[in-house]
A = this chain, B = another copy of it.
């Protein structure tokens, strides 16, 4: 069999990482596959210092790779939306298979891309788009294919997890740790995508689609970042036996699909509560298998390349019979369900509330009365006195509630914020048992 020819578009961290993994592990890969896989064409504006691509043909234009008749599999590793979309569609139109690490592209343009690929009977693989080196797409699409997936929850943004871990361990405020993450190269100069949960929502959108067999619906995902989490919240949660993690949660209920990214209190006994630093982990609950967890590096040149190259191997294995490949969104194209994604107001959750109140007799009674009026049960209360007793000082009242629908909690919070003895906004963090 003639060697399988790879074209790499984009020679940044992941592109060059994939090039080096293919090179250094080529013997191991042929031992596994019986195939010879060679990189024959690279598109990059320039070869950076320290990069060595030997005598591989290099083009400045990514479309040159998509048009190269010798290339069997195009690796889209340029990132972004528009050019990446055009590149992938062009490669598909030319009958080439595609491997991409681009979560934004798949979450936003995936339905269009997979439909085009289906028509041309080519494969678009995207393991590296979610949770870096963790083979979570494969685990859900194939490993757990016997299950009705009930929910999944993931720490799927390493930057956010690094920040929350450091805040807890060093008792540093968000802004200080963000600065440190930027200095270490874990966070971008503009950290919005990571800390506001957009990157996680892209990944969650993809996971939910393959878990439940629904189209990609990034616009329906509820997204809340970690920039308002304080070290007080982390500390109080700790006192109550919880950790705060930035989770992407997707859950299927009879009412619809929950699709939400937000800070979440989870029991410190839960394995995922112990996933720290830049590491990622995804829990998946299937009706047969029960709870599972998949852990590993969610970013970085080599871990992401591990997933890109695994996809290359998978695609290479089905090259002669691409119709045998697993469906892109796990379920057959005509079998996707139109079950709706619920607005955040309709989800049901337990809540952690931090209320800043003037140290005045009766304020706790007023708060609990409001919660009682809305039939919100209280699970635990801690009241943190300000340093010296003074009616003008604000004390923190921490309340853990039972399950209640978010829209009702919204109303209750509005009433609590209107109390004369309450200062500022109520901090509200959702809790999750991560049980069925």
Q: Is A310 an interface residue, CB under 8 A from the partner?
A: yes
Q: Report the count of interface residues on A (CB-CB < 8 A).
A: 65
Assess whether A297 is in contact with B290, with CB atoms less than 8 Å apart: yes
Interface residue A4 (Cβ < 8 Å from any Cβ of B): no
Asked if A303 CB lies within 8 Å of chain B CBs, one says: yes
Q: Counting CB contacts under 8 A, is A348 at the interface? A: no
* Chain B nearest CB, measured from A245 CB (Å): 14
The 0/1 profile, CB within 8 Å of B marked 1, for residues 292-305 of chain A is 11111100101101
Q: What 0/1 pattern do residues 316 to 336 of A give for CB contact below 8 A with B?
A: 011011001011001110010
Given A133-B290, A318-B324, also A332-B213 (CB < 8 A): no
Say yes or no for A21: interface residue by CB 8 A criterion: yes
Question: A51 at interface (Cβ–Cβ under 8 A)?
Answer: no
Interchain CB contact under 8 A, B303 and A288: yes
**Is A191 an interface residue when CB atoms closer than 8 A count as contact?**
no
1/0 contact string of A146-177 vs chain B (CB within 8 Å): 11100000000000000000000000000000
Contact A317 B324 (CB under 8 A): yes
Are A133 and B288 CB-contacts (below 8 A) given A271-B275, A309-B146, A331-B32?
Answer: yes
Q: Taking each of A29, A33, A297, A310, which has the highest tally of chain B beta carbons within 10 Å of its own beta carbon?
A: A310
A15 on the B face (CB < 8 A): no
User: Which residue in chain B gives the minimum CB-CB distance to A333?
Assistant: B34
Encoded as 1 (CB less than 8 Å from any B CB) or 0, chain A from 27 to 43 comes to 01111111000000000
Interface set, chain A 15-68, CB cutoff 8 A to B: 17, 21-22, 24-25, 28-34
- Taken together as a complex, chains A and B put the C-alpha atoms of A22 and B288 apart, in Å, by 10
Q: Is the CB of B143 within 8 A of A138?
A: yes
Does B287 contact A296, Cβ atoms closer than 8 Å?
Answer: no
- Answer yes or no: A134 CB below 8 A from chain B CBs: yes
Q: Judge whether B32 and A292 touch: CB under 8 Å.
A: no
A286 at the interface (CB under 8 A from B): yes
Indicate if A142 sits at the interface (CB-CB under 8 A). yes
Contact partner of A320 among B281, B291, B305, B324, CB < 8 A? Answer: B324
**CB proximity of A294 to chain B, nearest CB, Å:** 6
Whole-angstrom distance between the Cβ of A115 and the nearest chain B Cβ: 16
When the two chains form the complex, which single residue of B134, B290, B302, B306 contacts A296, counting CB atoms closer than 8 Å?
Answer: B290
User: Of residues A22, A32, A291, A335, which shows the largest number of chain B Cβ atoms within 10 Å of its Cβ?
Assistant: A32
A171 to chain B, nearest CB (A): 19
- Closest-CB distance, A165 to chain B (whole angstroms): 12
Question: A134-B292, A146-B307 provided; 12 other pairs, C-beta below 8 A?
Answer: A28-B148, A31-B213, A135-B139, A135-B143, A135-B144, A139-B139, A145-B309, A288-B305, A290-B303, A295-B295, A317-B324, A320-B321
Chain A residues packing against B (C-beta within 8 Å): 17, 21-22, 24-25, 28-34, 127, 133-135, 138-139, 142-148, 213, 271, 274-275, 281, 286-297, 300, 302-303, 305-310, 312-314, 317-318, 320-321, 324, 326-327, 330-332, 335
Lowest 9 A-B CB distances belong to which pairs?
A135-B143, A146-B309, A133-B289, A292-B296, A289-B306, A293-B295, A288-B306, A31-B335, A288-B302
